[in-house]
Structure 1
Amino acid sequence: MMSNFLPTNKFIILLIISFISMSFNVNAQQVQSKKTAADKSKIEIIEVTAQKRTQSINEIPMAITAFNADQLSEMGIEDTADLAAIVPGFNYSNTAFGPPVYTLRGVGFNESSAQATATVGVYIDEISIPFPIMTKGIIIDIERVEILKGPQGTLYGSNATAGAINYIAAKPSDDFDAGIKATLASFQTYSGEGFLNGSLTEDLNARFALKIIHSGEGWQQSVSRDDTLGKQDKIAARLSFDINIGAVTKALIRFGYSKDRSDSLAPQAIEYLPAKAGGPVNASYPIFEPILDVNANPHLFPGNGDDISAADWTADRNPALAHQTTSISLSLTHELSSNMTLTALTGYTKFKDNGSEYERGGTAGVTAGFIRKLTGGPLDTLLGGSLANFYEGHLHGDYFTIPDSEYVPSDYVFQHGKIDSFSQELRITQALNDIVWIAGLYYSKSNVDYKTTQDWGLATNVNILPMSGFGFNKLRNVIVQATTTYGIFANADWNINDELTITTGLRYTEDTADYTGCTEDIGGPGVALFNQFFFAGEDSGTPINGCVTVIDFGMDSQRTGQIIDTLAENSLSWRLAANYKLTQDSSVYASYSRGFKAGSYPSLAAIVSSQLDPVVQEQLDAYEIGMKSLLAEGTAQLNMSIFYYDYQDKQLLTKKTIPVFRTAFTLGNMDDSFVQGIELDLKWLPLAGLTVMAAIGVLDTEITKGDGFNQLGQSVVFAGSPLPFTSKFQANILTKYEWNISDSLFAFVAIDGAYTSAYNTDFKAEVTMTTQVSDFTGSPVEVNIPPQSYAYDNRFTQDDYIIVNVRIGIGNINQQWKAFLWARNLTDEYFVSSVVKNNEMIAAYSGMTRTFGLTFEYNAF
């Protein structure tokens, strides 16, 4: 199995050899250049809280990547998704329903429901942000960010099989401090942020931070008309109080608020694939087919080109977010003795979606008038002109009476909802000479109440016949999910001697998800269609706007209604690690850990209740060895890790056989997979003023057992397929040079680049035939899909790409102010975060185009 790990690309091999050679050259310089070493600045050893206490990053037996506030600011890191540009092994992808998907070292969950938790946990000062959709707000007033790789279940909860991202917010202090930062950038974008910090009384400090981003012009250009999309409209604020309560107790209270009204991303169409439900009885005419012909109108399919800003969306609509988040947290520490501390972490977050909209089809749609004039078309001629009274039948429900000028989309989404999340952690930490231990209790409760309206407009597979009772345009997915987690954990660092430290950790967790959900009809057409196909034309008793999800399909008890269910799971996570100091400046470590991610229910258009079955928890066993070394008299830091993951029951978005519509999306588990890789991380100060940071990640992933449906609805055995959204090779390099231009001023120039090798956004099976699918045998809605030739569709592969960013600026020596010009994606490189099959369209979600800007920072000390 390990033989599959070796990269075949000569470029990759040479780059790794060069990287390792660089570290030996650094050691050589340590011997040959001792006279000048004293003149060099030293590597700053970052202190992190990865193990919930302050430690040097070099002491922790774990792969950790950390960036401070200045680095994040200069590189333009505005939100969690941006970290994919600077952290090898970390990937981000867009989804059609809003929630981002984070993948770390090949471990991710490609699910777009609001209540879906991520394999990569995101925290602010150790307090969890439980759902990815809540992480889309802008980063504000951050001291540093720590990316912890590998399962973090023992100290960071059960939903972190891939790792954790822990933002450390800047804290109030008694010294007066204030700062501002202003930016003017492409697309009429301006942003401003600032903070004010200081003492209010002898025992009370406060800090206030505010950040605003706004743009007057969108960066995506419509391919069908003069219109743009992509404007930003974001605001975030935080107010923090640091309170001394007596001599041994300290409290930190934080109030947060954010709002995001930015445009949502429109996908780039690749190919229109009209699908007909119901088998041969479906005589509907694919209305979009004459327009969305890739050969006749190739300009309407920008996903086949290399223009990163070209896209399209429904002509008279503005896809945009309507997110609002308020939060409050309390961190309380009490010294029980000189070496024992009680810590209490309390967090509450309320997230509201006040009506977000998403384009999924990537087309401008057509007007109602266009549809009403379809009489006389080819199908009308075939039937002797008898469709004069029926083509309007495609305009069901809300669309029946709309004016001729209004556009009907091909695939559009509206969302409303809210999430309330509360968490409480109590822990005790004691530091003795031979052991440092932590033990605690954890509780969290989240309530998700979400409604997602899917508007398929004129999609062929839902407009089965252009007449009453044989089609619909809109359905609404309604879910209410209450998730409760209880945990008890303990972790200890055993100092065996001055060189060897053993880490042990355990956590027992119980997760419960109480779910109520279904798909509702809007306006009545859905009820009529479901009665026709599932109840033999009889009245099922389903009220208009009621649930049309069929329960107990094919049984005497068959009915429509809500699905009410509970998923209860438990898990035991653990971690065993050893760290051995070879010298004062170098150490090696080895670890074995087990992590779990709890299961959850989906939110999707459910024709039958089985589509809403939950996905069960996944398990990951991680084995890792690594090295951390400070070289060349403190002017270079080289870290390396080699890891292997045994990945069981991986959670994924897949498809399931259903009556009439043949296949439809659901959640599932993949039996067995593995992940293995090597990571190298170097920071080097070769001469005064010059900083070089480089990182390389090589990854090999494979499904060893499992089958299911790919995005095109093909049933395939997936053994041998790499995991989606996983690049085999990623590399980042940043070089920055600073020099004095006078006694009071300095200048700097910086360039950073990120290389990502090709990766797949769908499963790539090693078979030549699909598998036979037969279901509902003998029923009027029998599904029978015979085996057919299989070849992976290369349109679901993102080719390798390089992103280059540059900065040049000046500032004063005492760091009071700084101004710099910057360019991001300097070469306007084309890349995408995801390629998906959205209903009848294969579409790509592109990255960000080239942008330029000028940033000014000022600090008053």
Structure 2
Amino acid sequence: MKDTHRLMRFQRRQLSAAVMLATLTIVAPVANAQLEEVIVTAQKRSQSANDVGITINAFTGEQLRDFGVLTTEDIALLTPGLTVNETAATGVPLYTIRGVGFQDYSTAASSTVGIYFDEVAMPYTVMTRGLVFDTERVEVLKGPQGDLYGRNTTAGQINFISNKPTEEFGAGVTASYGSYSTWDLEGFVTGGNDRVQGRLAFKTLQSSEGWQKSATRDDELGEKDATALRGIVNFDLSDTVRLMLSAHYVKDESDNKANTAYSGAPFGLGEFSSPYAPLNEYLLPTGSNFGETPPWYSSGDSEVADWTNSYTSPITGKTFDIRPQRDNELTGFAAHLEWDIGAVTLTSVTGYNEFEREEANDWDGGFYNDSSNINTTDLEVFSQELRISGDTGKLSWIAGLYYSRDEMDEYYHYFMSDSVFGLGSIPWGVDLFAATPILELDTKYSQETESVAAFGHVEWQFTEAWRLTLGARYTEEDRDWAGCTFVAEDGSLGNFLNASFGSSLSPGDCGTINDDPASPDYIFAVIGTPRVNDAFQVYEDTISTDRWMGKLGLDYALTEDVLLYGMMSVGFKSGGFNGANSNTTQQLTPYDEEKLTSYEVGVKATLLEGRMQLNAATFFYDYEDKQEQDIAVTFVGNIAGLTNVPESEITGAEIDLKWQPLTGLNVNLGVAWLDTEVTRWNAVDPQQSSWPVTVRRDVSGIELAQAPQWSYVGLVSYEWPLANGLVMEVGADVSFTDETTGGVAPEDATEDYTLFNARLGVGSSDGQWRTLLWARNLTDEDYYPAAYTGGNGPYVRSYGMPRTYGVTLNYNFGQ
């Protein structure tokens, strides 16, 4: 089987390479074909993408629709070097660019990748899962952008730019129907006069049929119910003052995705991470199904998964709905003011977003209850940016101030009755928990973050060919955190702690143990005394960060069509706290900030009389104190922790090619290559460590998590005229993502996968209407972009969508 899999994988690579080669040799060029210029605002002013000395991948709104991009996570399908995965079923997507990412599932963890919607930051990735719609373009900026962007990040930025209002009346509607009875309806209306213009857009995604099938019963998961609205009004208050107000709303009541459990034995992991029930019936000689394969296992079918729909406490009799589903709501407002004062422009960007959710997820990939959770989150984010800018022709400059404040409250109700810490301890003979099994946990925390920054950016064209770029930013940030894992209503955690330490904890009491020997409430200082309950307390702490970051760049225009550039930039990401279930207070101590220094050189060349654009770059990252997963060794076991990796290095190269050999024929190719290495880290050895002894192992030389060595995207499309004012089009694309090692956690490793998509359409030559037939994941590839330990015991994979197909109709009015 393994040899067969390797052969199939090799054949897929050959096929995808052949498709890419065919796109590059399809026809000879003709003189009248020419690429359109792409305008970006990566440096907070309008520039040609070919004139900006940084690596940018830009996509138009039409490209996003054709590729089937519905959410921010889908951008990874278009962008070599960008991955989006998860390390747990908590509803928190994890973004990684060029191997720079933070593999933490906590809602409170800020991302290494900055995500901005119309210049307003979304600092927590849980807020970004709303629908992408009515989008002018998306810009993916790679590498630290240490001067112009508000929230500190190390990997880069993703900027979503909405379509803006126009004076002329216009309206449009796009409707799609596809596999699994999925309806996708999007529309807009815009218009105004020379003083006031408005635009209203909406999108709704509905599906009444699930795509995931239960491995053990007649049940399915995957229905969609999401709606988004956006309104923008632009006021030209005078010839020099412009005010744009916007509001958006997203409501998502869709099913969440379930995991698929598998045996880790064929992959060198062992059968499971920790034992759980009912696995004992298949693995223990006393089991009723001893020697058989558990029916919930699957390792090669993306549509097979399993999950738990409900849990009834054997102690309280209370029933919980824990079927994977979400009820998320995002409401936001923004004000964008521009005031031309002589030769300078004053810009104010104000943003406010409120996010609320209650969502259930199943970690363990089974009908049993090893690990399930309900997250209830309340999150408010406010930001204000003031900047002034000017341009004399030879000198372009920006200077500004930035302030942001956010408040988060998270309630994380965790169910674990079938785990080895719960009722699963009884058949597996784990006496520590068998007498007082832990069935439910209540983790609650609050976090407040306040950030202030001052920044400046200068581009000096000091000769006709040479341009110098300087940028700097100074940031001060304070983050306050308070949290604990409390005794849930069933009292099971309290029963365990009371039996173990002689305490008298009740439902609602903090159950996190003070294991700091320097504390007067250290558990072993108060055990056996009337003060023993004082050893269980809410952990509170504040971390403060103040740091400079910035960039230095030099561009050389070899000719008017060829730009050579070099850039050194420094970025940092502030530290934070562990929002996971906690056994001890030292598990909650903060991790430190990380710092990344980037060195990049590249070329942007317009070739073949404007028919080809070739951009290439190579880079080296010096990565210090990378924030990463680790193991916390405590007297109640080895549990999830977070730490800093002292030193890592990343070397890479990228190519982005756009070619129009003849009018109507477009060929795009993007390739990314990465070589990542941890150069210094003594990580905890979970196999050898047992409290009070922590054994560390030198893991220098391992690769970073979510860092595929190769990834590429190839696209070919052709459009040609028919009779009666009609236009025909055909397109196909292929994307490849290489395998990953999982870093220090081999259970997080993923296999390589290749996805093919195809489109066939017809429309009017004036663009008024268009019909498109499409198929995605054409070969029905079974692929999983994420894998991890499913909570406590099983190993799981999170599979991507199987093959889907459908039809899209678009009609535009006016304009």
- Matched residue SS, 2:494: helix
1:828 to 780, 797, 809: 780
Paired with 2:801 and 2:70, the residues of 1 have a C-alpha distance of 13
Report the Cα offset of residue 554 of structure 1.
Answer: 4.0
Paired with 2:616 and 2:594, the residues of 1 have a C-alpha distance of 27
Q: How does 1:598-637 map to 2 (within 5 A)?
A: 598-637=574-613
1:152 aligned partner: 145
Q: TM-score, normalised by structure 1?
A: 0.84
Report the Cα offset of residue 444 of structure 1.
Answer: 0.3
Q: How does 1:128-527 map to 2 (within 5 A)?
A: 128-199=121-192, 202-271=194-263, 273=272, 275=274, 286-291=277-282, 296-298=291-293, 300-304=295-299, 306-316=300-310, 317-337=322-342, 339-353=343-357, 355-365=358-368, 409-463=369-423, 470-523=436-489, 524-527=491-494
Report the Cα offset of residue 19 of structure 1.
Answer: 9.1
Report the Cα offset of residue 713 of structure 1.
Answer: 8.9
TM-superposition CA deviations, 1:30-63 (whole Å, max 9, x none) = xxx7xx41x22x1111110000111111111100
Report the Cα offset of residue 297 of structure 1.
Answer: 4.6
Q: TM-score, normalised by structure 2?
A: 0.89
Share of identical aligned residues, percent? 33
1:696 aligned partner: 671
- Matched residue SS, 2:65: helix
Taking a change above 3 Å as real, the CA distance of residues 323 and 550 of structure 1, as seen in their structure-2 partners, is same
Paired with 1:67 and 1:126, the residues of 2 have a C-alpha distance of 17
Number of matched residues?
Answer: 755
Paired with 1:21 and 1:850, the residues of 2 have a C-alpha distance of 24
Contact 1:663–1:713 (Cα < 8 Å) also in 2: no
Q: How does 1:423-822 map to 2 (within 5 A)?
A: 423-463=383-423, 470-523=436-489, 524-533=491-500, 535=501, 538-540=502-504, 542-551=505-514, 552=516, 553-556=522-525, 559-660=535-636, 662-709=637-684, 716-763=697-744, 796-822=748-774
Contact 1:471–1:529 (Cα < 8 Å) also in 2: yes
Aligned residue type for 2:367: A
Report the Cα offset of residue 442 of structure 1.
Answer: 0.4
Paired with 1:686 and 1:589, the residues of 2 have a C-alpha distance of 27
2:85 aligned partner: 93
Taking a change above 3 Å as real, the CA distance of residues 356 and 711 of structure 1, as seen in their structure-2 partners, is farther
Paired with 1:326 and 1:292, the residues of 2 have a C-alpha distance of 49
Report the Cα offset of residue 344 of structure 1.
Answer: 0.3
> Higher mean Cα deviation, 432-441 or 483-492?
432-441
Contact 1:451–1:479 (Cα < 8 Å) also in 2: yes
Give me the CA root mean square deviation: 2.6
Report the Cα offset of residue 204 of structure 1.
Answer: 1.1
Paired with 1:14 and 1:580, the residues of 2 have a C-alpha distance of 39
- Matched residue SS, 1:78: coil
Paired with 1:264 and 1:709, the residues of 2 have a C-alpha distance of 33
Contact 2:482–2:539 (Cα < 8 Å) also in 1: yes
Taking a change above 3 Å as real, the CA distance of residues 858 and 12 of structure 1, as seen in their structure-2 partners, is closer
Taking a change above 3 Å as real, the CA distance of residues 721 and 500 of structure 1, as seen in their structure-2 partners, is same
- Matched residue SS, 2:45: coil
Aligned residue type for 1:256: H
Unaligned runs of 5+ in 1: 1-8, 277-284, 366-408, 765-792
Report the Cα offset of residue 314 of structure 1.
Answer: 1.2
Paired with 2:18 and 2:812, the residues of 1 have a C-alpha distance of 43
Contact 1:118–1:159 (Cα < 8 Å) also in 2: no
2:60 to 43, 68, 73: 68
Report the Cα offset of residue 763 of structure 1.
Answer: 2.1
1:774 aligned partner: none
Report the Cα offset of residue 12 of structure 1.
Answer: 9.8
Paired with 2:513 and 2:748, the residues of 1 have a C-alpha distance of 33
Contact 2:282–2:293 (Cα < 8 Å) also in 1: no
Contact 1:120–1:159 (Cα < 8 Å) also in 2: no
Taking a change above 3 Å as real, the CA distance of residues 85 and 710 of structure 1, as seen in their structure-2 partners, is farther
Taking a change above 3 Å as real, the CA distance of residues 227 and 745 of structure 1, as seen in their structure-2 partners, is same
Contact 2:164–2:232 (Cα < 8 Å) also in 1: yes
Report the Cα offset of residue 761 of structure 1.
Answer: 2.5
Paired with 1:16 and 1:825, the residues of 2 have a C-alpha distance of 17
Report the Cα offset of residue 300 of structure 1.
Answer: 2.8
Paired with 1:248 and 1:566, the residues of 2 have a C-alpha distance of 44
Paired with 2:12 and 2:324, the residues of 1 have a C-alpha distance of 42
Contact 1:469–1:525 (Cα < 8 Å) also in 2: no
Taking a change above 3 Å as real, the CA distance of residues 16 and 426 of structure 1, as seen in their structure-2 partners, is farther
- Matched residue SS, 2:50: helix
Asked if 1:848 corresponds to 2:801, the answer is yes
Report the Cα offset of residue 459 of structure 1.
Answer: 0.8
Contact 1:323–1:356 (Cα < 8 Å) also in 2: yes
Paired with 1:471 and 1:519, the residues of 2 have a C-alpha distance of 16
Contact 1:724–1:760 (Cα < 8 Å) also in 2: yes
Taking a change above 3 Å as real, the CA distance of residues 298 and 20 of structure 1, as seen in their structure-2 partners, is closer
Taking a change above 3 Å as real, the CA distance of residues 165 and 491 of structure 1, as seen in their structure-2 partners, is same
TM-superposition CA deviations, 1:566-598 (whole Å, max 9, x none) = 011111111000111111111100000000011
Paired with 1:332 and 1:518, the residues of 2 have a C-alpha distance of 43
Contact 2:146–2:471 (Cα < 8 Å) also in 1: no
